[in-house]
Chains A and B, each alone.
Chain A
Amino acid sequence: MADGIATLISSLGLTQETFLVFCVIAILVVGAVVVIITSRPILDIYPYLNPSARVRARKGRLFDEKQISEIVETNNVEEVENYLKGIPEYADVLDEYPLDKALDVERANTYDFVASLAPKDIKAPFAVMSKKADIDNIKSLLTAKEVGLSPEETKELLIPCGSLYEDLNSLADAGTVTDIVTSLDGTEYAAALEDALPQYESTNMILPLESALDKYYLGKLLRSTDVPSDENKQILYSYVGTQVDVANLKLIIRAKEDGLDYEAISPYILEEGYQLREWKLKDLMESPDVTNVVSGLEGTKYAEALTDVMPVYNETGSVAVFEKALDVYTSEYSKSLASKKPLGIGPIIGYLSQKENEIKNLKIIARAKREADFPNSKIMEMLI
């Protein structure tokens, strides 16, 4: 057989050395092709491995149902606080701040944490979310000024987080709402606030300013997710887009409950929704009442969640049932997104969504525990 191979090599006009060189080249070419093909999925996965493990570690420390029940069964808000002081995640912030502020700080820290570890490709939306502390602080400042709180009381309302905290803290001494808006000149919120300022001055209500901030935030959040070019970005776009749609829907439902018409609502709505596009939002805003808004959603993914609670709304007349249904829907949808890409963006979205819910639930419990004789069963119903 060796002779046969030697004959074959020589019949090809090759020496043994040349044959060896061809073998080496063939192996290198095959190797290069294999490496290129196999490294692609690795390159997609690799940036997410470390962040995934970190958020999953924190996700594992979120409260389970048993712990939430234990907190609900506490007798008063002091016991809630003591319970949370025994949990490392909340102990540090509770040492420094009262309960509600500590929860706000923990939420802001969570956004900062996720924004800091998110891989470069998906960092932008999380960076926008981490600016929510600034927006909440501006709203607190405006509210404090509107109701005439003292500078000390105003400072108490501010969350010590966000890039503008120091500046906003110094604005606690500002004389009027207009002074605050003009002092924010040079920040990214200036244009949105200044556009809404005439409306504030004509109505003397800060709602237009708060809505302008919300609209600016949602618009920036939606635009921060560029063209969804891969599965991770598609999931992120769905997650962010659903938040925008839900915020729009909550606003429309509440406005319809208050009997507002299209002209009154449209300035506060972000026209570029995700599944609810401009024409659909216009239809909803033109609906005569809440019932028609819900029926107008037929064919969208939000229809079922809202239709299911329609009887409760008819019974109670409270639009809070729709808001809770939308929160539950967002939570469930985020959970489904989280399981789609376990070695990608999934765990990050799963953790962020569940942590938000945990903090919302703790706030609900804290508020309920401040009320005398608020039944625990009622608290459990209110939780997301």
Chain B
Amino acid sequence: MVEIALGTALAAIGAGVAIGFAGLGSGLGQGMAAAGSVGAVAEDNDMFARGIIFSALPETQAIYGFLIAILLLVFSGLLGGGQGLPTEAGIVAIGVGASIGFAGLGSGMGQGMAAASSVGAIVEDNDMFARGIIFSALPETQAIYGFLIAILLMVFGGILGGA
């Protein structure tokens, strides 16, 4: 069995939480947006491009989670063969994962609902496109906060930059 330091193992849990929950939120959100978009395209073929845009919006949460997970894996020594993390940094890594994971979950779901609703509004009235994008982009902020805090935790928790 490969020898892994406790801190590194905890960082692996953090990476799993990061992509797991962010991906869950993103998937649910994208599913809702896509369900609405399919309904719109069924009635109006011209809605395809706009449906794709709104369905793609909740993808970002999974990207943030994926990015944080990769950073955790690299800087904890699991990828790239660097030094293992000390235990306290491993615990910080769980916080990092939870930060982007849960923020991404809520943000993705919220964005999915807003996007599905926006698609319905646009298919009813074309002029709603810009306003629909603005409303759908609003729930992105929670994921950005989570991402920012995850980065700060990694920097000041000794995972990135060795503070």
Contacts and interface: CB of A to CB of B under 8 A. Distances in A.
A343 B43 contact: no
A311 interface: no
Nearest to A1: B88
Nearest to A350: B124
Interface in B112-155: 113, 116-117, 119-121, 123-125
A345 B103 CA distance: 29
A42 B21 contact: no
A23 B13 contact: yes
B98 to A, nearest CB: 8
B46 to A, nearest CB: 10
A2 B17 contact: no
Contacts of A34: 21, 102, 105
Interface string A58-78: 111000000000000000000
Contact of A45 (B16, B40, B113, B125): B113
A54 B116 contact: no
Count class of interface residues, chain B: 35 or more
A19 interface: yes
A53 interface: yes
Nearest to A51: B39
B91 interface: yes
A342 B10 contact: no
A51 to B, nearest CB: 7
Given A27-B17, A38-B109, A343-B113, A49 B125 contact: no
A121 B109 CA distance: 23
A16 interface: yes
A20 B37 contact: no
A50 B117 CA distance: 10
Contacts of B40: 53-54, 56-57
A162 interface: no
Nearest to B116: A49
A96 B1 CA distance: 77
A52 B120 CA distance: 7
Given A5-B91, A20-B10, A49-B116, A56 B124 contact: yes
Nearest to A23: B13
A343 B117 CA distance: 7
Interface string B16-34: 1100110011001001100
A53 B116 contact: yes
A16 B125 CA distance: 60
A374 interface: no
A54 B42 contact: yes
Contacts of A19: 6
B36 interface: yes
B38 interface: yes
- Of B6, B13, B120, B121, chain A has the most CB atoms within 10 Å of the CB of B120
A6 B6 CA distance: 10
A346 to B, nearest CB: 10
Interface string B75-105: 0000000000011100100100000001001
A279 interface: no
Interface of B: 6-7, 9-10, 13, 16-17, 20-21, 24-25, 28, 31-32, 35-40, 42-44, 47, 86-88, 91, 94, 102, 105-106, 109, 113, 116-117, 119-121, 123-125
Top 10 A-B residue pairs of the complex, sorted by shortest distance between their CB atoms? A53-B39, A57-B43, A60-B124, A50-B39, A49-B35, A57-B123, A56-B124, A56-B120, A53-B40, A54-B39
6 contacts: A1-B88, A20-B9, A24-B13, A38-B106, A45-B32, A53-B42
Interface of A: 1-2, 5-6, 16, 19-20, 23-24, 27, 31, 34-35, 38-39, 42, 45-46, 49-54, 56-60, 342-343, 347
